[in-house]
Structure formats: structure tokens, C-alpha cells
Amino acid sequence: MAGAGALRARFRAPLDPGALALSASTEEDLLLLPYDLWGSVAHARMLGATGILPGATARRIEAGLKAIGADAARGRFPLDPALEDVHLNVETALTERIGPDGGRLHTARSRNDQVALDLALYLRDALRGLEGEATATSRSLLVAARAPSAGSVVAGWTHLQPAQALYWRQILATHALRFLRDAERFRGIRRRLTESPLGSGAIAGSSLPIDRHLSARLLGFRRPTASSLDGVSDRDALAETVFAASMTDLHAGALAEELVLGSMAGVDRVRLHDAFVTTSSLMPHKRNPDLAELVRAESGQSLGRLAGLLGVLKGLPIGYQRDLQATKPILFLAVARTTAILRVLARMAETAEYRPDPPRPERSTASVELADALVAAGRPFREAHERVARFVAEAEARGRGLASRDPAELEAAFPELRGSGFALPSASEEPDRRGSFGGSGRGEVERLLREVARRVAASERGLSAEARRVRRLRARMGVPEGWGFVPRASP
């Protein structure tokens, strides 16, 4: 009997149809197919090199796998759910192609180490893809931050109340820093993916003289996992990836919120490009930030996915448990959704127009600068805070703010400032008053932009180097590009 049935020689009944449907992972496994083939080629070579299989048999197996790969690359290798998963689909197709020798491929290998290997290879590519998306988002924000309109000044908010005036540039570059940290997180996970699970077998390795170091090297890993048991049970990198994707989604949601609030009537500090707004089916005047809202919503869904994944992993005994299969769709969805929202958000942020706050007589955002001037004149800060607070309250009683108080009033209330040269800054002068490292001053914001630019470029260079490394590894094994990872925006 072929396929899944071939594994059931010890049973008297085939698997119940409902049970088969529940157990099949063929839908999500399509993403693992190229990696399953590549890993199988490495395994076949190792079996040939160690003499476990005759060289000619190993080569026939390799040729068969590559023929399947060519079909798959043309979309002509649908996975049959009756064969449970990608692994049995490949083995069955191989046997159909090359005959009973196809049944030798699974020597000293289990689907348990196979799926762990497939996931490691997939993750290596997917993490590079995610790092690329996060880096590209930072690059878009850098472009936005450098646009002339981002030189405008708005009130920075704490508690959504006007706090201190800032250049739009600083706000945008700070969002870019967050996505750079995300890119660095993805890179860190990828760089720690150095061990090959292949050859772990079901949980305990093999009695045949396999060479795990050889297959690890062929696939670009530094070494085999130190324990076969760890090889089949470790899903740490998968969980870290889902976490890092959630963190990225959270950052995306925060930027989206910035755009939603900024384009709110009365705030008017962001004008989204027409390509990223929608209208109402009823109210013809509406200009709605739906896309930003959907990005914001994704971060909520993503947190649910992360909790779901950790829930699946919680309390699993070491070794292989079928629960681990349930981690795959969560991972694939996380990768696809994060990719999708970053692509839209990056364009939305890059094409938006950033505007200054309109002049507001009720503005009091330079209160700290006034208090600092009193400190410079020798007053304790706590006393300065209190006096400025009263001075602001008097203005507010007249429906105005600090910005509306004239120099004579200032001198009367704060005689120690006479001759100090202090003047209340206008909104556009205010950010430059704060020249501390990383602060809102022009020079510091320029330094911040240079730092973002440097880190974006470093990430882009690292990504190209990794792409070349993987291409070389593939080429060395005659595994074509088409078997590679294509970042997809939908699962």
C-alpha cells in the first residue's frame, strides 16, 4: 500500500476520515515544500557519502527529488491531504517516480526531525524577509522625515495632552528606530539558528552510521543539535519569531494610531495620501483612515496569536508531540500578516503630508523652558515649577496660554529674569531650545536622522550578504532559486 496507508501495517482499519482531515497539515505545509525537498537532497547525499546507501541510489533519489522540485516550482505539485503532510507527499511521489528505491530516502530519518529541519530552513528565509520589511519601513520613515514638510513643528503629546513642541522629523525618526529594533530582533533570531535538527530521528538518533555534521554543513548550519531530543522538540526560534512579529505589529499599530489621530478633524497634523484613505458608502464627504485602522487592529489579532502559540507549547513534555503541528499555521499567518501590514504602512507613512499645528494662543508648551530659565537664575526647580504653574493658570483663566503672555508680564512675575536675555520661544523656536543629547534640538534631530540612515544601510547590506550566502549554498547543491522563499502578504 502506498502513502499514509503504508504506515498503518499494524492496524486493522484505515484512519477514520474525520480523524484524517483533522490530522492533515497539507494546507499549511505547502510553504515547507521547498525546504522539505532541499533537506531531503542533503539527507540523500549524506546517506550516499556514508555508504549507508550506494552512491548510485543516492544520486537517483536526488534526481527524483529535483524533478519533484521542478514540478513544484511550476505549481504542479499539489499536496494530497490523504497523505497527511508534505513529508509523505514527497516520499510517495518519489517512489512513484523512481520505484522502490524511493522508500530508502527515509532511512535514519523521522518526520519529527524532518519537520523541525523544514521549519529551521523556512525560518532562516522568513526572518530575512521580515528583517527586510522592517528595514524597508524604517527607510520609508526616513524618507518621510527628510521631506521638507516634516521640518514643521507640532506639540509632542503625553497623555494625549500637549506636552513639548517637537519637529515632526523627530517623531518619524523615532518610529523608524522602533522598526530598526524589530529588524535587529529578527536578525538576532536568524543568527542563532545555527543547529541542524536533521538526524535526530524520532527522538533518539540512529543506529546507522549517519554523519549529522555533513548534512548540517550542506544546509548552511554550523553544527547538528547537541541532543537529538532537543532537535525534535525545540520550537524556541519559532516562538521568538512570532513574538518579534507581534512586537513589530505593535509598533505598526502605534504608528497607525499616530496617523489616525493626526488626521482627525481639529488636530489636522497629518494629511494621508488619497491612495490610503477610503470614503463612506453613505456620507460623500468622508475621508476615512480605514487602512491605518486595519493596521492598528492587526496588532490586537497578533497578540492573540502569540498567546495562542505559547498556550500550545505550554507544558509539553520534551520529545515530539503532535501538538507541535499546531504551531505551524500560527507562524505562517504571523509572517504573512506582518509582511502585509508593513508594506501598506510604509507606503502610507511615506506618502503622508506632515503639517505644523495651527497657531494656538492657548499653547503653554514652553513652560519647562521658563522654569529652566529660573533654575539658571539660581532658583530651586520645585519653586520655579510652582511659580510657572500659577503664571500659566492666570493666563488660562483668560482662556489663553503661556504663549500669549507678553514680556512685561513675564518680567513682573519673574524679576530675576531681567537682563537674562530669556524670551518665551514661539512654537517653531521651541524644539531648538533643547539641545541635550537625543533631545528635540535641530542638531540632535539631524544626528538622529544620520543614525537611522546608518543603521538602515547596515541592515540592507547584511540582508544582501545573507541572500548571497543562501544562494551560494543552494547553487552548491544544484537546488534552484525557484525552491526558495517568496514573502507573501497573505497566507
Q: How many CB atoms lie within 10 A of CB 17?
A: 9
d(CA 445, CA 152): 13
**Site size toward ligand ARG, by CB under 6 A:** 10
User: What is the torsion angle, in degrees rounded to the nearest 10, for the CA atoms of residue 356, residue 359, residue 363 and residue 366?
Assistant: 60
> Whose Cβ is closer to ligand ARG: residue 61's or residue 119's?
119
Least gap, CB of 324 to ligand ARG (angstroms): 5
**Cell 549517519 found at:** 210
Return the range that interacts with ligand ARG (CB under 6 A); candidates 51-59, 272-280, 318-326, 470-478. 318-326
Q: Which of residues 9-28 bind ligand ARG (CB under 6 A)?
A: 25
Least gap, CB of 150 to ligand ARG (angstroms): 47
> Whose Cβ is closer to ligand ARG: residue 320's or residue 414's?
320
d(CA 143, CA 137): 10
213 is catalytic: no
> Whose Cβ is closer to ligand ARG: residue 85's or residue 125's?
85
**Identified catalytic residue from 23, 106, 140, 159:** 159
Q: How many CB atoms lie within 10 A of CB 437?
A: 8
Q: Annotate 428-476 with three-state secondary structure.
A: CCCHHHCCCCCCCCHHHHHHHHHHHHHHHHHHHHHHHHHHHHHHHHHHH
Q: Which of residues 217-236 bind ligand ARG (CB under 6 A)?
A: none
| Whole-number CA gyration radius for the chain | 30
CA distances from 151 to 7, 173, 176 (A): 67, 12, 16
Least gap, CB of 130 to ligand ARG (angstroms): 21
**Cell 527586510 found at:** 132
Q: 137: Cβ–Cβ under 8 A, 6 or more apart, which residues? A: 176, 179, 252, 342, 345, 346, 349
**Identified catalytic residue from 273, 280, 420, 426:** 280
Running DSSP on this structure, what letter comes out for residue 165?
E
Least gap, CB of 49 to ligand ARG (angstroms): 26
Least gap, CB of 327 to ligand ARG (angstroms): 8
> Taking phi first (over 0 means left), then psi (-120 to 50 degrees means alpha), and beta for anything else, what does residue 317 get?
beta
Q: Which of residues 325-354 bind ligand ARG (CB under 6 A)?
A: 325, 328
Q: How many CB atoms lie within 10 A of CB 326?
A: 16
The answer to whether residues 302 and 338 touch, using CB atoms and an 8 Å cutoff, is yes
* Cell, residue 258: 499616530
d(CA 257, CA 345): 11
Answer for which of 42, 61, 93, 115 binds ligand ARG (CB under 6 A) is 115
Return the range that interacts with ligand ARG (CB under 6 A); candidates 92-100, 320-328, 349-357, 460-468. 320-328
Q: Is 264 helix (H, G, I), strand (E, B) or coil?
A: coil
Answer for which of 77, 186, 276, 320 binds ligand ARG (CB under 6 A) is 320
280 is catalytic: yes
> Whose Cβ is closer to ligand ARG: residue 120's or residue 272's?
120
Return the range that interacts with ligand ARG (CB under 6 A); candidates 161-169, 321-329, 365-373, 424-432. 321-329
> Whose Cβ is closer to ligand ARG: residue 22's or residue 408's?
22
Answer for which of 26, 92, 112, 206 binds ligand ARG (CB under 6 A) is 112
Q: Which of residues 375-404 bind ligand ARG (CB under 6 A)?
A: none
Return the range that interacts with ligand ARG (CB under 6 A); candidates 154-162, 192-200, 323-331, 400-408. 323-331
Running DSSP on this structure, what letter comes out for residue 356?
P
Residue 128 host element (H or E): helix 111-146
Least gap, CB of 29 to ligand ARG (angstroms): 7
85 counts as binding ligand ARG under rule CB under 6 A: yes
* Cell, residue 283: 456620507
> Whose Cβ is closer to ligand ARG: residue 25's or residue 196's?
25
Interface with ligand ARG (CB under 6 A): 25, 85, 111-112, 115, 320, 322, 324-325, 328
Catalytically annotated residues: 159, 280
